[in-house]
Amino acid sequence: MRATSIVCKLLFVPLLTALAGNAVAGIANTKHNLSAGGTESSYTATSEQQLCVFCHTPHNAQPDTPLWNHTESGATYTPYTSTTLVANPGQPTGTSKLCLSCHDGTVAIGSVHDLPFSEGSGAGVISGLESTLAGENSLDTDLSDDHPISFVYDDTLAINNTELVAPSVLSGDIQPDHNGELQCSSCHDPHSDTYPKFLRADFTDAAGYGSPLCRTCHDKSYWSSVADMSHRESTNQWDGTGTNPWHIPGHNLPNDPDSTPKANGCESCHKPHSGGGGRLLLKHDGEAGVCLTCHNGSVAQGSKDIDTALNKMYVHPVKDPAYDGRHTTERVGPGTIREDAANLANRHAECPDCHNPHAVSAGTSPNVGDLGGTNNLASNVLKGSWGVEPGWPGLWTDVTTYTEVDDIQYQYQLCLKCHSYYAFGLSPPLDPYNEIGGDGKLTDQAKEFNPNNKSYHPVVAQGKNDFIAFDGVDYSGALINGMTPASQMTCAECHSDSQAVDGLKGPHGSDVWPILWAPYDFTTGMTGTENHLCFKCHDQQVYGGGSYSPGSEDQTGFSGRSQFQRKNLHNKHIAVRDMPCLACHAAVPHGWKRRAFLVYGTGTPDPEPYNAHYRHEINGSTIYGLNSGIDLDAIESGNWQKSDCHSASDAGTSGVTGVGSCSW
């Protein structure tokens, strides 16, 4: 029997060579040649010269195709998982199980079920290969940071995940196995290293774009359809400092300055095996960690420096490590509703919550003053991001219905998916910086920007104020930097960093609360606040200049037409009492239930945080502002009378001593 076995094994070599000549020839000069004659592998047998016996045997093979000889691992694996994963990978099966018998690092490389005749008989370890696989080629038993395997990849899966190509239309070498499962061998050909790492496709295609293998199955929305898709087209180079952020072992050198996002494709950000970020196979832990590898002002030539803004005093906290991996918990697919109260602990802000890295293209939000810059459209940097469109109810009413928008058209659709009832219902979170008044909670901005309110900044719709006085006088000249009564604007017009490098815009971070372009506080409008936020669009000489010379009443709707009131009353209140904007206007200037953001400070005062009087003394008092008895709708722009706000008595209807007796 022993002689017969030896003869069969001797016959096996020419037989296998005849059946798979190209495969054997291909293996000879690869790392899979573990024979004593192998030159590419760090692991070689002491004397065994055969190439195939480390994996295959003609007799006494394990009951696995194809005539498997290597000792299988008995490990239990931790499969890849993600909240966005539609497939259901379990324990490895098929060829993946066979590959892992070496590549999980638990079994000696030379451990076989049936030793070659030169080594003895039965199970054992081929001499020289007693060690287990180590280093980057050992995936270990934790596969949570590796591309999922051993799951059914069929047309149904592709229907449930529209960014997957249906396997029925796949052509070429990249296919599920005979059981319809995606395996290691779907991407790797263990018998050929025509392409690096035994891959079934090269790292770049004929046009120089990276990751043709990944793109065979993954048809990421927008990636190929957006003409100037920044991450796909970028030929930015590494600047030679630190570590090359785009280096792919086996594809380019660690110090290769010509390595570019275009050439590296998906692997600029993702690593299919042993990814540093686990979920989503990211190269670094956390979505922000990946983005800021390039967007940090160095290392990656030509990239925008967002990291500097994120290190400001007030920021969207994308760098908080506690938020890593949370962004998929809010919306996993069409129809998924907002987080409910049980999931409020998952509130977060990460880069992909605002930016779609597979769709983003060059561009910035239009700036006030730019040609065509007064609009509320989403810029190209927000391309492909999802948001919500509210169903707008009546005046100053909770907005409780929303339609999800897969590709936002207006910037507010993005912001409102977090800053509204959609995200937090009737339980808004606390202001993380503890600077807001009232109960310390953030406000519902959908309720504030509702175009059915009597006043709002024109983020959702054109504003209600036509800047025409009761007698036809046009005072729209009080708007500056390209703004007109018909203008619209984005949230980023106010929530940006005026000191941002590269002209970056958006609410990444600022040294002014709450991520504002310039200060806006209880002093705004008073003497010396010329550089405050309001005066980016509203002429400071009209609203905060402190001058009320004859004729200036035509510059503002807050003026009168009687003999004693032909004055710019904004300037009048600053010159006489140095009153700030929030003496009469809402401290949260998104939108309000009354015209011109006017709040009641006396009588029956409006609540905080809209009425900020209780937090700020002005002229020695916290009791000031409009009286709730005033019928604001009855007062026409440009036709204010002293009696509209003040009585003849010294106390006055405002309750501030002396205002009733002041001269006009």
- Chain segment 628-645, per-residue pLDDT in tens: 888 999 999 999 888 788
pLDDT at residue 83 greater than cutoff 80 = no
Tens of pLDDT, residues 133-180: 998 889 999 999 999 999 999 999 999 998 999 999 998 889 999 999
Give the range among 54-63, 137-146, 395-404, 565-574 with minimum mean pLDDT.
565-574
Contact yes or no for 117/183 (Cβ under 8 A): no
The top-scoring range by mean pLDDT among 111-125, 229-243, 332-346 is 111-125
Rounded mean pLDDT of 604-619?
89
| pLDDT at residue 313 greater than cutoff 60 | yes
619: confidence class by pLDDT, cuts 50, 70, 90: confident
pLDDT bracket for residue 24 (50, 70, 90): low
* Residue 248, pLDDT score: 80
**Token pair in block for residue 485:** 């009564």
Q: How sure is the predictor about 524, in pLDDT bands with cuts at 50, 70 and 90?
A: very high
Distances (CA, A) of 500 to 351, 509, 525: 17, 9, 25
Neighbours of 107 (CB within 10 A): 21
pLDDT band at 18 (very low <50, low <70, confident <90, very high): very low
Tell me if 226 sits within 8 A of 359, measured CB to CB: yes
Q: How does the average pLDDT of the chain come out, rounded?
A: 85
- Which of 153-156's residues contact partners 24+ apart within 8 Å by CB, and which partners? 153/87, 153/180, 153/181, 153/182, 153/186, 153/217, 154/180
Q: Rounded to whole angstroms, how far apart are CA atoms 501 and 328?
A: 30
Label residue 453 exposed, middle or buried (CB < 10 Å: 0-12, 13-18, 19+). buried
Where is average pLDDT lowest: 38-52, 416-430, 557-571, 589-603?
557-571
- The least confident of 2-6, 194-198, 304-308 is 2-6
pTM listed for this prediction: 0.88
| Greater model confidence, 604 or 664 | 604
pLDDT of residue 345: 66
DSSP-assigned beta bridge partners for residue 56: 68
- What does the pLDDT average to over 550-561? 79
Return d(Cα 155, Cα 168) in angstroms, integer.
7
- The CA distance from 519 to 213, in Å, is 51
Kindly report each contact of residues 545-551 with a partner whose C-beta sits within 8 Å and lies 24 or more positions away, as own/partner.
545/571, 545/574, 546/571, 546/574, 546/575, 546/578, 547/571, 547/575, 548/572, 548/575
pLDDT at 332: 36
Q: Mean pLDDT across the stretch 420-428? A: 90
Confidence of residue 117 (pLDDT cuts 50, 70, 90): confident
For residue 135, count other CB atoms closer than 10 A to its CB: 7
Instruction: Check whether 478 has a pLDDT greater than 80.
Output: yes
- Alpha-carbon gap, residue 582 to 521, rounded angstroms: 8
Query: Which range has the top average pLDDT, 298-307, 348-357, 558-567?
Result: 348-357
The answer to whether the CB of 132 falls within 8 A of the CB of 108 is yes
Backbone dihedral region for residue 484 (phi beyond 0: left; psi -120 to 50: alpha; all else: beta):
beta
Least confident of 233-247, 404-418, 573-587: 233-247
**pLDDT beyond 70 at 568:** yes
User: Which are the contacts of 616, defined by CB distance < 8 A and separation ≥ 6?
Assistant: 522, 580, 582, 622
Q: In 10 A of CB 122, how many CB atoms? A: 10
Asked if the model's pLDDT at residue 94 lies above 70, the reply is yes
User: Tens digits of per-residue pLDDT, 581-606?
Assistant: 999 999 999 999 999 999 999 889 99
